[in-house]
Chains A and B, each alone.
Chain A
Amino acid sequence: MAEYCKQIIFTRNFFKLCHLSRSLKKFSCRSYSKSSEQEKKSPNNELAEVTEDENEKLIEKFLRENPVPNPVRNTEKEYFDSMKDSKRRGLFETLPTHLTSWLYKDYVIDDHTELFLQHEIKVRQLLREDHKYREDRVKVLGHDLAAAHFIVHRGGAVKFVGRETWLVKNKEGQVPLPNTCIDNMHLEAVDLSNTKFTHVSAENLAPLSHLRYIRMHNCPYLDDWFLAKLHPLKDTLEFLDINNCPEITDNGLSCLHHFSNLQCLRVSNLERVKNIGLICLLLEDKIPNLLVLGLTDDQLRPDHSQSTGERKLVRALLGFTSEKEDFIKGSIREKFESTPYLKEMYGVIKKVE
């Protein structure tokens, strides 16, 4: 009888063991060994019942931790639920905006005019990015040295207060400027000739406190916005030289009325300025001590008149007396030679050229 009871208990435990993991084997063996040790019948039954309850709890816990998926799935509902999820990102959402714009653009590569236009637009964009005002450069060098580095590195020339030489980039591409901030080193004159500076460059010149002289020859990208942005220099600028800048128009020259200390303005070869004579006369009226150079008699004459008498009549109608005309015509050289500063600056111009 004892052997028969042992066999029944073993079979029952072995059958349940198939549903459990290996970690439960010891527990079953232990209970079996306990039951085998005792000879009484009733204690064997009690132990078996306790084992069954614990096993069921363990089974429920196992199933709770590892749920069995429902075989009947609503795949369509799952799909639309995932599509509504805002965190989910589609394929095209990961592409940046400028790339999708570029992919959708219609480039005509067999038309050289289109290629030239795209190239010109790209050049302007790159120049605008390159000429931005950089706060980190100003922190290290100060406003004057930062502006000097900015100008000389891109082909311009600078001159400091108290020094006679113009600083330019040498043949090896090196810049003879210090890399640290030095006190009492103020920029006095800048020469932007033959460069590609744009209107963004004016933000580097605006904070300068001692700038007196600006020279702009053959600058194809300097426009009216550059002259308008030089407004902070209205108390210090004394000499302005503009030659062959095709983007300068009448509206840019009319911005120069802010410069109350301007002493000499030299303008020549500005093809897009329609009323250069009239604007220069108005500037002379507005700014005291201003001398305008570079104008020809044809530019001072109104377009619709052909004779001297009619020119005087038109100027009288515009409110100008003949004394100013004589001053402009006959007294330019005398005043020019009698002003030491202008003579010095003219010498500087000769040296640079």
Chain B
Amino acid sequence: MHSFITTRSGIFAKLPTGIIRILNEKIVETQSSSFCKSRSLSRDSSDGNNDDKEVSNDEKRIPRAGEYRSPWKIFKEEFEGVSTLKPLGTEVPRETDVLIIGGGVVGSAVAYWLKQRSAKGHTVTVVERDPVYTRASSMLSCGGIRHQFSVPENVQLSMFTSEFLRNIKENLSVIHESLPDVQFNHQGYLFLASPRDAEQLANNVKMQQELGAKVVLLSKKQLAEKYPWMNLDGIECGSFGVEGEGWFDPWLLVRALKQKNLSLGTKYVHGELTGFEFAQKGNTNEPDSLEAGVVRIKSGVEYEIKFAVVVNCAGPWAADVAEMARIGIGENDLQVPLPVEPRKRFVYVTHCPEGPMLDCPFVIDPSGVYLRREGFGGHYLCGSSPTNESEEPDISNFEVDYDFYEKIVWPGVANRVPAFNDSKLKSAWAGFYDYNFFDQNLVIGPHPYLRNMYFANGLSGHGLQHSIGVGRAIMEHILDGDYKTINLEKFHFDRFISKVPIEEQGIV
């Protein structure tokens, strides 16, 4: 008991052992007396059960900071914390400056940039229900990064991520840990274009080169010389990213971001968001802003976390979080919902003994099939996105549709690379896109009505390569009030209200 006293601070550190024993005895007496009262009540009337339920209901939800809570309960938790070495507020804080829903690569990037700007100036809490990321979108992706988009802001976001990964040892180093490394493969992306799309591809390459990306346009003859193993029937030209494009391990990036966040003081909560609490103004009936989030942890207890700003980084389930904030089910400005939903995508691992080896880039076919090498042993990742809405797979589970490989993916890959006629499917997995079915582009920035709810989702398959830039943009908008580096104002929620989509051809 003495050792616990010495480690504590405050008035309890000075209490001798005898007083603590007396206080413990008082607690026991109080509990026994309450037990006697309930027993007597059960004898006299049938309302005893209601008393028990009321007592149990009081502990189901811990109120947020600023709300009344019985000092006796707080006192009891303090003494329980003495024995379990868990002081008050260890699991879930009752108040935070920024609450981030979702701890994937986008949520961790937002937390990193907020903490990197001012580590002790504000508190950041990340709520994640899947701490080992078994269902995260970035974990189950191919890990590709490219600068070849048709919207200039997307090119800038990817180029910033390449720059961040280039200097990852300066950005994400933590003491007592090895220097971070994301296993970056510098193979580049190769976009093939049919004669119909050749002009659009040339215009895109010109725009990308003006922004500083190292992208070259290759003619059919150049493609034949550079990639003799490729069948170029139906191909007019291709664009190849020479520098800063390729693929890397998403898990290593998220792990480095998370351990950097923890070293800078970010709080990670293993729980699930179940709802929001609204701030009621005096005269108006309609809530004006969000005040607290309700988080249920694994033991079933619900906590209310009071925040100033909440960032919705829930990925494919961002629309559910937005619906908890009455976006889509409210009135006036809250009528328009967030058009983000989960879409399932398959990644197939195949082995081809005679396939291309060192000179195999990330090939994107005009039919939508993609192909890339995995290691040096003849294994390749390939896949495709469905071209029709009716062909979208079921999202209720993570099962893989192998018929999709036999009918769509394998014929497409073998048509482009004839060596894959002799390939064998080894394994496959399924992952979710946080698919923006309005225009397949980013949703960022505050909600027009609920100004303290920020969106960072809807990246539709290229979230991993844009996450670092999106995190920095959210940080700039929260702390500086506007974008400072890359202006992403066209990706705000306002375009869903005005129904003006943004065209992007680079969706794979």
**Subset of 8 A-B contacts with CB under 8 Å:** A101-B119, A104-B121, A111-B175, A224-B184, A227-B186, A251-B184, A254-B358, A254-B376
Q: Which of B53-61, B131-139, B163-171 contacts A (4 or more CB under 8 A)?
A: B163-171
Interface size class of A (residues with CB under 8 A): 35 or more
Q: Would B243 and A199 count as touching, CB distance under 8 A?
A: no
Q: Would B120 and A104 count as touching, CB distance under 8 A?
A: yes
Q: Would A229 and B358 count as touching, CB distance under 8 A?
A: no
Instruction: Given contact pairs A120-B173, A227-B186, A319-B354, enumerate 15 new A-B contacts (beta carbons under 8 Å).
Output: A101-B118, A105-B120, A106-B120, A111-B175, A117-B173, A121-B170, A124-B169, A224-B186, A225-B184, A231-B243, A254-B185, A254-B376, A255-B186, A278-B376, A282-B357
Q: Would A128 and B167 count as touching, CB distance under 8 A?
A: yes
B-contact 0/1 string along A311-343, CB 8 Å cutoff: 000000001000000000000000000000000
Knowing A121-B170, A124-B170 are in contact, say whether A286-B357 is a contact too (CB < 8 A). yes
Q: Would A199 and B166 count as touching, CB distance under 8 A?
A: yes
Chain A residues with Cβ under 8 A from B118's Cβ? Answer: 100-101, 104
State A248–B169 Cα separation when bound (angstroms).
14
Expressed in whole angstroms, the minimum distance between the Cβ of A111 and any Cβ of chain B is 7
CB of B221 within 8 Å of the partner chain: no
State A254–B187 Cα separation when bound (angstroms).
8
Q: Would A113 and B175 count as touching, CB distance under 8 A?
A: yes
Among B117, B170, B357, the residue within 8 A (CB) of A101 is B117
Q: Would B243 and A117 count as touching, CB distance under 8 A?
A: no
CB of B385 within 8 Å of the partner chain: no
Chain A residues with Cβ under 8 A from B214's Cβ? Answer: 231
Among B116, B183, B186, B359, the residue within 8 A (CB) of A286 is B359
Knowing A97-B117, A124-B170 are in contact, say whether A275-B376 is a contact too (CB < 8 A). yes
Knowing A101-B116, A117-B175 are in contact, say whether A257-B358 is a contact too (CB < 8 A). yes
Ranked nearest first, the 8 interchain pairs of A and B with the lowest CB-CB distance are A228-B186, A257-B358, A104-B118, A104-B120, A104-B121, A113-B175, A251-B185, A117-B175
State A111–B506 Cα separation when bound (angstroms).
48
CB of B353 within 8 Å of the partner chain: yes
Q: Would B121 and A231 count as touching, CB distance under 8 A?
A: no
Interface residues of A in 262-285 (CB under 8 A from B): 275, 278-279, 282-283, 285
B-contact 0/1 string along A229-259, CB 8 Å cutoff: 1010000000000000000011110110100
CB of A184 within 8 Å of the partner chain: no
CB of A130 within 8 Å of the partner chain: no
Among A228, A249, A282, the residue within 8 A (CB) of B358 is A282
State A121–B172 Cα separation when bound (angstroms).
10
Among B116, B186, B244, B265, the residue within 8 A (CB) of A251 is B186
Expressed in whole angstroms, the minimum distance between the Cβ of A196 and any Cβ of chain B is 14
Q: Who on chain B is nearest to A105 by CB? A: B119
Q: Who on chain A is nearest to B181 by CB? A: A249
Knowing A114-B175, A251-B186 are in contact, say whether A225-B121 is a contact too (CB < 8 A). no
A-contact 0/1 string along B254-271, CB 8 Å cutoff: 000000000001000000
Expressed in whole angstroms, the minimum distance between the Cβ of A149 and any Cβ of chain B is 25
Interface size class of B (residues with CB under 8 A): 20 to 34
B-contact 0/1 string along A99-125, CB 8 Å cutoff: 011001110000101100100110011
State A97–B480 Cα separation when bound (angstroms).
11
Chain A residues with Cβ under 8 A from B175's Cβ? Answer: 111, 113-114, 117
Q: Who on chain B is nearest to A253 by CB? A: B358
Chain A residues with Cβ under 8 A from B354's Cβ? Answer: 319
Expressed in whole angstroms, the minimum distance between the Cβ of B353 and any Cβ of chain A is 7
Chain B residues with Cβ under 8 A from A278's Cβ? Answer: 376
Chain B residues with Cβ under 8 A from A125's Cβ? Answer: 170
CB of B176 within 8 Å of the partner chain: yes
CB of B218 within 8 Å of the partner chain: no
CB of B202 within 8 Å of the partner chain: no
Chain B residues with Cβ under 8 A from A251's Cβ? Answer: 183-186
Expressed in whole angstroms, the minimum distance between the Cβ of B209 and any Cβ of chain A is 14
CB of B242 within 8 Å of the partner chain: yes
A121, A251, A279, A283 — most chain B CB neighbours (10 Å) = A251
Among B242, B359, B376, the residue within 8 A (CB) of A231 is B242
B-contact 0/1 string along A117-152, CB 8 Å cutoff: 100110011001000000000000000000000000
Expressed in whole angstroms, the minimum distance between the Cβ of B356 and any Cβ of chain A is 10
State A283–B354 Cα separation when bound (angstroms).
16
Chain B residues with Cβ under 8 A from A106's Cβ? Answer: 119-120, 265
State A285–B353 Cα separation when bound (angstroms).
15
State A254–B359 Cα separation when bound (angstroms).
8
A-contact 0/1 string along B184-216, CB 8 Å cutoff: 111100000000000000000000000000100
Chain A residues with Cβ under 8 A from B120's Cβ? Answer: 104-106
State A255–B184 Cα separation when bound (angstroms).
11
Chain B residues with Cβ under 8 A from A319's Cβ? Answer: 353-354
Chain B residues with Cβ under 8 A from A97's Cβ? Answer: 117
Q: Who on chain A is nearest to B358 by CB? A: A257
Expressed in whole angstroms, the minimum distance between the Cβ of B175 and any Cβ of chain A is 5
Q: Would B117 and A121 count as touching, CB distance under 8 A?
A: no
Expressed in whole angstroms, the minimum distance between the Cβ of A300 and any Cβ of chain B is 14
Q: Would A104 and B169 count as touching, CB distance under 8 A?
A: no
State A257–B47 Cα separation when bound (angstroms).
82
Expressed in whole angstroms, the minimum distance between the Cβ of A304 and any Cβ of chain B is 12
Expressed in whole angstroms, the minimum distance between the Cβ of B328 and any Cβ of chain A is 34
Expressed in whole angstroms, the minimum distance between the Cβ of B212 and any Cβ of chain A is 12
State A241–B185 Cα separation when bound (angstroms).
21
Q: Who on chain B is nearest to A115 by CB? A: B175
Q: Who on chain B is nearest to A114 by CB? A: B175
State A341–B411 Cα separation when bound (angstroms).
48
State A105–B354 Cα separation when bound (angstroms).
54
Q: Would A104 and B186 count as touching, CB distance under 8 A?
A: no
State A251–B357 Cα separation when bound (angstroms).
12
Chain B residues with Cβ under 8 A from A114's Cβ? Answer: 175
Chain B residues with Cβ under 8 A from A282's Cβ? Answer: 357-358, 376
Expressed in whole angstroms, the minimum distance between the Cβ of B378 and any Cβ of chain A is 8
Interface residues of B in 203-258 (CB under 8 A from A): 214, 242-244
Among B166, B244, B265, B359, the residue within 8 A (CB) of A257 is B359
Knowing A106-B265, A286-B359 are in contact, say whether A228-B243 is a contact too (CB < 8 A). yes
Chain A residues with Cβ under 8 A from B243's Cβ? Answer: 228-229, 231
B166, B214, B265, B354 — most chain A CB neighbours (10 Å) = B166
